[in-house]
Amino acid sequence: FPVTIDGAEWFRLASDMLNGLAYLHSKKIIHRDLNPANILATNIGYKIIDFGISYKQGLPKVTLTNLRHLFYASPEQLEEKGKVTTKSDIFTLATLLVFAGTHRSPWSKSPDALTDKATGLVQSEIVHNTVHNEANYHSLSTNQKKFLRTLHAKKPSERPTAQEALELLKSYATHAFLNPVEKSPNLKTYRDWE
């Protein structure tokens, strides 16, 4: 994402990604590598691309010694014996949405955390915080934070499915994910583009 995405566009990104994940997960496909490079912005919305390391449940697993985008990985992807499920994609999406809305990592204090400038120390901090600490949502709105905390539950069993997360997202639609003091008369809400 070359620029920070906010307001109705952030909501559209979240909605499009959850719709895509709900479809993939209904086909028993786990993407395993959601990151900004694997999201395509089109004139009809955002699309998930690059299924190079995706996994279809029931087929033999491809073992990866290191994930290309560990900055977005779920705790179970970072743990040696963690079991990756569709709920791993939900956690990863939440991290991606924080980056889209802030251009910052929820797992590091470093502004360079999600860039090529990230040092080994910053990478270690991200891995440690992803597994053990709560996310930092920086300047996101209260409603965005509430939504993302649900997706960022450390235990996969406590995270919603993509369809459940989509319903939760829609329940916040009337608020356009903004605090009352942030409302703008020019801001379009979910209903304006649905």
Catalytic annotation on 112? no
**Greater model confidence, 14 or 193:** 14
Q: How confident is the model at residue 101 (pLDDT cuts 50, 70, 90)?
A: very high
Q: What is the pLDDT of residue 6?
A: 85
**Greater model confidence, 56 or 92:** 92
Burial, 144: exposed, middle or buried (Cβ in 10 Å; 0-12, 13-18, 19+)? Answer: buried
Q: Which ranges in the chain belong to alpha helices (H)?
A: 7-26, 75-78, 86-102, 120-132, 142-151, 162-171, 190-193
The arithmetic mean of pLDDT across residues 44-54, rounded, is 78
Burial, 36: exposed, middle or buried (Cβ in 10 Å; 0-12, 13-18, 19+)? Answer: middle
Separation between Cα atoms, residue 26 and residue 48, nearest integer Å? 15
174 has a pLDDT exceeding 80:
no
Q: What is the pLDDT of residue 96?
A: 96
Task: Choose the catalytic residue: 6, 16, 33, 89.
Answer: 33
Quote the pTM value: 0.82
Q: What is the pLDDT of residue 182?
A: 40
- Quote the crossing angle between the two packed helices 86-102 and 142-151, to the nearest 10°: 150
Lowest pLDDT segment from 30-44, 68-82, 159-173, 176-190: 176-190
Q: What is the pLDDT of residue 78?
A: 87
The arithmetic mean of pLDDT across residues 91-119, rounded, is 90
Separation between Cα atoms, residue 140 and residue 10, nearest integer Å? 11
Q: What is the pLDDT of residues 123-168, one digit of tens each?
A: 899 999 999 999 999 999 988 999 999 999 999 999 999 999 999 9
The share of the chain scoring above pLDDT 90, in percent, equals 49
Q: Which ranges in 27-161 belong to alpha helices (H)?
A: 75-78, 86-102, 120-132, 142-151
